[in-house]
Amino acid sequence: MAHRRAMAGAGLSGISEEFIVRLVLGVLILLVVIFLALAGVGAGLTYYVTTANNSQEPVNPQSFLLNSYISLSFTDRSGGEHEGWLLLGLRGAPAIILCHGYNSNRSDLLWLGSILRDNHFNVYLFNYHGPKARESRSDLGSRQASDLIAAIETVTKQPDVNPNRVGLLGTSVGGYAALVAAEMNPQVKALVVDTTYPTPERMFDFQIDHLLGGSSGLFRILT
């Protein structure tokens, strides 16, 4: 009788250990699946934030009845080409370069460019992204600053532009790029920025929070 009870107890103990092992394995597999799913979402968010750009240009200089302008492109450090419009003001006048913001393009600042051009400035608007730009991803500031420096070099070589006096105006990513470029280029004599940020990492976190509808420390780590 005692032997049968011992056998039964051993059987129950074996079943319990097997169940526990399966339960632990199941929990571990579930955690791995959850982590992979969250990592996938984080990767998708990262890709979206660093590749977001608006290529739709609803207006152009002809829409504003601007006849005194030229299409002026420049090449960045990686060999990519950036399209731009140079609105011609008074011959020999300073150039003001308008730097569009995040998920935007040059056409969004054309209304301001038209006003500045009417006040006799030479105005340059260009795209950070485009079909001929080799870099499809953005680091939210540093690469844009490099592009802006190349734009300054191109614009100041134009015969109708004062090569020693340049003004920069930028918003968000364009504002950050303008701050960096102004510090590195003595030709920049005036600087205006709007809704900019101290570091690209801060901008990245802001965009992640914006996409999620609130702050999320978990997704900031994952991204």
**CATH number of residue 193's parent domain:** 3.40.50.1820
The 10s digit of each residue's pLDDT in 155-185 is 999 999 999 999 999 999 999 999 999 999 9
Return the pLDDT at 127: 93
Three-state secondary-structure class, residue 30 = helix
CB-based contact 45:223 (threshold 8 Å): yes
The answer as to whether 153 is a domain residue is yes
The answer as to whether 17 is a domain residue is no
From residue 49, give the alpha-carbon distance in Å to each of 13, 109, 141: 54, 22, 13
Task: Work out how many domains the chain is built from and give that number.
Answer: 1
List residues bridging with 178 in a β-sheet. Answer: none
Closest among 178, 167, 168, 175 to 196, alpha carbons compared: 175
Q: What percent of the chain has pLDDT over 70?
A: 89
The answer as to whether 22 is a domain residue is no
State yes or no: pLDDT of 148 exceeds 90.
yes
The answer as to whether 70 is a domain residue is yes
The answer as to whether 161 is a domain residue is yes
State yes or no: pLDDT of 111 exceeds 80.
yes
pTM: 0.82
Which one has a higher pLDDT value, 132 or 124?
A: 124
Q: To the nearest whole number, what is the mean pLDDT of the chain?
A: 87
How far apart CA 51 and CA 64 sit, in angstroms, is 30
Widest Cα–Cα separation across the chain = 112
The 8-class DSSP code of residue 210 comes to H
How far apart CA 59 and CA 66 sit, in angstroms, is 12
Question: Which helix (H) or strand (E) element contains residue 149?
Answer: helix 142-155
Q: Which structure tokens are listed for 1?
A: 């009788």
Which one has a higher pLDDT value, 123 or 8?
A: 123
CB-based contact 50:138 (threshold 8 Å): yes
How far apart CA 114 and CA 112 sit, in angstroms, is 5
Average pLDDT over residues 7-15: 52
Return the pLDDT at 69: 95
Return the pLDDT at 4: 53
State yes or no: pLDDT of 136 exceeds 80.
no
Tell me the residue range of the domain where 165 lies: 61-198
Return the pLDDT at 161: 96
State yes or no: pLDDT of 85 exceeds 90.
yes
Closest among 171, 28, 14, 220 to 179, alpha carbons compared: 171
How far apart CA 150 and CA 147 sit, in angstroms, is 5
The 10s digit of each residue's pLDDT in 187-211 is 999 999 998 899 988 888 888 888 8
The answer as to whether 38 is a domain residue is no
CB-based contact 100:54 (threshold 8 Å): no
The answer as to whether 4 is a domain residue is no
Q: Which amino acid is at 199?
A: T
The answer as to whether 74 is a domain residue is yes
How far apart CA 107 and CA 59 sit, in angstroms, is 6
